[in-house]
Structure 1
Amino acid sequence: MQAIEIAAANFDRHLVHNAYPGRGLVVGRSSVEDAWLMIYWIMGRSEHSRNRRLVIDGEILRTEPVDASLVDDPSLIIYEAIMVLPHCHLIGNGDQIRTIYETLQSGSSFDAALATREREPDAPNYTPRISAMLELHEQPGQLTMNILKANVADPAYTDRTTYRPALPPTGLGLGLTTYDGDGSPLPSFSQDPLLLPCEGDIQAVLNQYWDALDADNRIAIAVKRISANGETSELIVHNRYT
């Protein structure tokens, strides 16, 4: 099977016909220009999880509540999802992205930052923390991805898995989500990074992924376009609730 067919099959199985892949991220290469794409989306089942949107704050993408009066505990729903350092772009589903950002600023590493973090403490789901870093200091660049999830034998412990995959070809990306599907408790993502499509311009990619997500559970999505050398970027957002 060709890579593009694998990506299409993964997209169909894991997003189109999956009621709850949860939060997700994709890092890939545009099919229409020499640029990188980062995709991030939020899903939610509870009123608390649905009470948020994505907002652009300079070069930062962050979450914020739609109705601040309904927020009981902001610790797991309010965070920066995309941050940037010179020629280094970060994306993830929680405040571990701030930890990575600050650790890199101090001269340490992506792995060292995540060694200090755990899966989310939301028993019984123990939602995984998913993160990625795209480094473009030198061409063609380097992609690093990570998932922190509860150990199957004892969820008090966290399994830390880092991937350093070959860069995806034009029109394709690699993605992680928090869950394999719906359930109670929610089943943590159990696969390697999925090959997924990145076809069309930035708006077309946003529309493709938004349309694929379950209409009852999708909350917000953003796509970031990054020039091949990492020097310029563009960020767009679509929110269910404004």
Structure 2
Amino acid sequence: VRVLGNKTIVTNGDQTDTIYEGMDRQMTFEQSLRSREFEPDAPNYTPRISGIMHLENGKYNYAMSILKSDNGNPESCNRYTFAYENCVAGEGHFIHTYQCDGDPLPSFEGEPKLVAIPDEIDAFTNALWTSLNEDNKVSLFVRFIDIADGTYETRIVNKNK
């Protein structure tokens, strides 16, 4: 996680710095990710998932991105960005790395999943962690940000403590 002014950036890899540095040079979220692709870890080609939340004047919007191979083709990177404005309290969206077990693991497909977000961070963290596939989950980062004043709480769960 990195914070750039009123923007919070979170990813599943080292592209956090790429986004931060690009946006610090006045590039957009999408432009910052143009230099990146999925992980080169054949045969799975793990997708890179990124998110950014922008707070301003008591309002917020967010965007998420997934960079993934085109059905396991290492020569082709599919880039998807989903942006959300005028967000509803208690609702969010979720992208995960893989859609199910397999060999190779099939990348997430479709639009981000709508999720209910309870008012309590530990309840939400627990709900997310327990919903993940036991064999494939590694870590989880959850941050609740108070839209009014920017204060936040963070939880990190790691399978390999």
How many pairs does the alignment contain? 161
Deviation, structure 1 residue 85:
1.4
Whole-Å separation in 2 of the counterparts to 1:219 and 1:176:
15
| Partner AA of 2:26 in structure 1 | G
| Partner AA of 1:136 in structure 2 | L
Does the 8 A contact of 1:88 with 1:230 survive in 2?
no
Determine whether 1:234 maps to 2:153.
yes
Query: Measured at CA, do residues 215 and 179 of structure 1 come closer, stay the same or move farther in structure 2, by a change above 3 Å?
Result: closer
Query: Measured at CA, do residues 240 and 185 of structure 1 come closer, stay the same or move farther in structure 2, by a change above 3 Å?
Result: closer
Deviation, structure 1 residue 151:
1.9
**Identity percentage over the alignment?**
37
Flag structure 2 segments of 5+ consecutive residues without an equivalent: none
Q: What's the TM-score, normalizing by structure 2?
A: 0.89
Whole-Å separation in 1 of the counterparts to 2:106 and 2:74:
13
1:35 — aligned with what?
A: none
Deviation, structure 1 residue 100:
0.1
SS of residue in 2 equivalent to 1:178: coil
Whole-Å separation in 2 of the counterparts to 1:240 and 1:178:
16
Determine whether 1:175 maps to 2:117.
no
For residues 156-192 of structure 1, the C-alpha deviation after alignment (integer angstroms, 9 at most, x for no partner) is 1111111113444222210111111000011111111
| Partner AA of 2:12 in structure 1 | N
Could you list the runs of 4 or more consecutive aligned residues of structure 1 that deviate by over 4 angstroms after TM superposition?
none
Q: What's the TM-score, normalizing by structure 1?
A: 0.61
2:8 — aligned with what?
A: 89
Whole-Å separation in 1 of the counterparts to 2:151 and 2:158:
24
Which structure dedicates a bigger proportion of its chain to helix? 1
Query: Measured at CA, do residues 84 and 228 of structure 1 come closer, stay the same or move farther in structure 2, by a change above 3 Å?
Result: same
Determine whether 1:192 maps to 2:111.
yes
Structure with larger RCO (C-alpha < 8 A, sep 6+): 1
